[in-house]
A and B are shown apart, each in its own frame.
Chain A
Amino acid sequence: MLIYLVVSLIAAAWLVPLIVVVLNSLRSNEEIVQTSMIGWPRQWAFGNYLTAWSDFCVAQTCVGIRPYMLNSALVTIPATIFSTLLGAVAGYAVSLWRFRGDSWIYGIVTLGIFLPQQMRLLPWTIVLRDTGLMNTLTGLVLIHTIQGLSFTVLFCRNYYVAIPQELIRAARIDGAGFFRIFWRIILPLSPPILVVTVIWQFTHIWNEFLYGVTFTTGQQQPVTAALIALSAAVADIPHHGVQSAAVMIAALPTLLIYLIGGKYFVRGLTAGAVK
């Protein structure tokens, strides 16, 4: 029984930050100022969510975090789809199709997992400036698609190596080409790894902050960068209730994905570690 007590206490401690934000997002600002950030709502202030969503001011623009949520979605969804699809095809090519130089290029691509973002900040600045993509969502999609390949190729390649080569060889003898084999044989076997990859990419791109804050400003920022701008903007007159609601809204997409596909999320998390 002791073990249940210990484990529940630790679990409770782990939930404190979440519970505090949820409760605060439902408390009025006066109430928080009078007491502290930690407390039960005396009056349920559901209006905080509406304010955070569409009225609140970030950097002199009072439109709530809705446009920034939209920005994040417009970056995350295409970049997730592109990087996953390209990663699946490339993973299939290096694991089963095999071609001259495949292991070399695969080795270099996966090094991208380790290369710090700081090493790429200046070059991306130049590339975005020269292509006219600075301060655009398209620019962020481009960055996340190319950088995401390091992860998606690794995930898919490690999954596809388990598929027997004979399957591919037999299909080639029957006259099937690169795309036909991918479409007919590989893709139908892929759902488990595609789910892992999509969840991983979505979570990472949605939560990304450094590129967002470096390459976009004002109305083009993703929600993570907007949240920081928001905390800076309200440093003088805090609106913790509304801020908590904004934080909850920003965290909701990845939290929901975790709740629904937690198993696959953890698989992605450990896939990189046991390679």
Chain B
Amino acid sequence: MVRRLPEYLTIWVPLLLSAAHLVSFSLWTIWISFTPSTLVPVSGWVGLRNYTSVLASRNWQVAFDNLLLFGSAFVLLSLVTGLILAILLDQRIRGENVLRSIFLYPLAVSFVVTGTVWSWLLNPGIGIQKLVHDFGWTSFRFDWLIDRDMAIWTIVIAAIWQSSGFAMALFLAGLRSVDADLIKAAQIDGAGPVRMYRRVILPTLWPITITVIVIQLQFAISTFDLVRALTNGGPGIATQLPALVVYDLMFQRNLLGRGAAAAVLMLLILLSVLLPYAAWQYLQRRRAPHA
């Protein structure tokens, strides 16, 4: 027993530290969300009061509406972009590796960097609008960054640019693994390329599509850095998102209880995506035990 102590320690210490921090941190944050904590954590019980005040706040409502819009627009558009890119690259074109690297490089860079760069490009005073004006088309307007109604779309643009490559990579792997016999059979039946994609190839991609949707949604729900660098939630609170609300409550307004409640709400939004996905995966596995 003593002789094997180093072994037990090496196996258990990292795993236990990791598992224990996940469980205890989550439970602790959930507990704080039911306490009247403000500047420092205090015990006490206020029931759902933190939750009701977060849910009633203008900040959270705007953030939640933005998340719905941003989440669905970003996921849908990056899915379509990624699929188109994958199909284009699947045509045995020359320079595929270079092209694939180009579509994927944004993922290697931090959101702080890409958000900053997009904030310059989309800034009407120095970016694309200014460039077009200098060319002589002075009535051209592209000022979404400072437009309350359109500002959230600047986040969508930057997010699509940053992570469509990820959807492309997964779709491309899927396209490459379509059963060759299936394609051959369709060719013998005289299916043209469009029909081939619509009827034979694309239907095999739907499990990958669901995976891509879930991962992109997970990204959308926790988006923080990108908005912080691109709009910082503005103009006003027009591009507020849940992760920014949490940070604002916890560290700028020092309302720990409410901040924790907002964090738990984020977790619940995430679970509403992940739990159905986990259930679906479980059913898939049970239906195909050998896969």
Contacts and interface: CB of A to CB of B under 8 A. Distances in A.
Interface stretch (B47-55, B65-73, B181-189, B263-271): B263-271
Nearest to B221: A116
Nearest to B23: A108
Interface in A217-275: 224, 227-228, 231, 238, 240, 243, 247, 250-251, 254-255, 257-259, 262, 265-266, 269-270, 272-274
Given A17-B117, A109-B15, A115 B22 contact: yes
Contacts of B130: 35-37
B38 interface: no
A117 to B, nearest CB: 7
A275 B36 CA distance: 41
Nearest to B96: A7
A3 interface: yes
A147 B25 CA distance: 12
A119 B29 contact: yes
Chain B binding site: helix, strand, loop or mixed by DSSP? helix
Instruction: Give the most central of B102, B112, B126: most A CB within 10 Å.
Output: B112
B120 A37 contact: yes
A32 B108 contact: no
B161 A17 contact: yes
A273 B211 contact: yes
Contacts of B123: 37
Interface string B129-140: 011001000000
B99 interface: yes
Does more than half of chain A's interface fall in helix, strand or loop, or is it mixed?
helix
Given A153-B18, A214-B251, A122 B91 contact: no
A38 interface: yes
B224 interface: yes
A15 B101 CA distance: 11
Interface stretch (A43-51, A86-94, A187-195): A86-94
B199 to A, nearest CB: 21
B112 A227 contact: yes
B108 A114 contact: no
Contacts of B85: 10
Contacts of A32: 126
Interface string B192-222: 0000000000000000000110010010011
A160 interface: no
Contacts of A254: 108-110
* Residue with the greatest number of chain A CB neighbours at <10 A, chosen from B109, B123, B229, B251: B109
Interface in B136-179: 161, 166, 169-170, 173
B225 A210 contact: yes
B114 interface: yes
Contact of B22 (A106, A112, A206, A207): A112
A90 B14 contact: yes
Interface string A115-138: 111111111101000000000000
Interface string B97-117: 001011111111111111011
B7 to A, nearest CB: 4
Interface string A4-20: 10110011001111101
Interface of A: 3-4, 6-7, 10-11, 14-18, 20-21, 24, 32, 35-39, 86-87, 89-90, 93-94, 97, 99, 105-106, 108-109, 111-112, 114-124, 126, 146-147, 149-150, 153, 177-179, 203, 206-210, 214, 224, 227-228, 231, 238, 240, 243, 247, 250-251, 254-255, 257-259, 262, 265-266, 269-270, 272-274
Given A122-B259, A250-B110, 16 more contacts: A10-B103, A15-B102, A24-B120, A37-B126, A93-B10, A109-B15, A118-B222, A119-B25, A119-B26, A119-B29, A178-B10, A209-B111, A214-B247, A240-B120, A273-B170, A273-B215
Interface of B: 4, 6-7, 10-11, 14-19, 21-26, 28-29, 32, 41, 85, 88-89, 91, 93, 99, 101-114, 116-121, 123, 126-128, 130-131, 134, 161, 166, 169-170, 173, 211-212, 215, 218, 221-222, 224-225, 228-229, 243, 246-247, 250-251, 256, 259-260, 262-264, 266-267, 270, 274
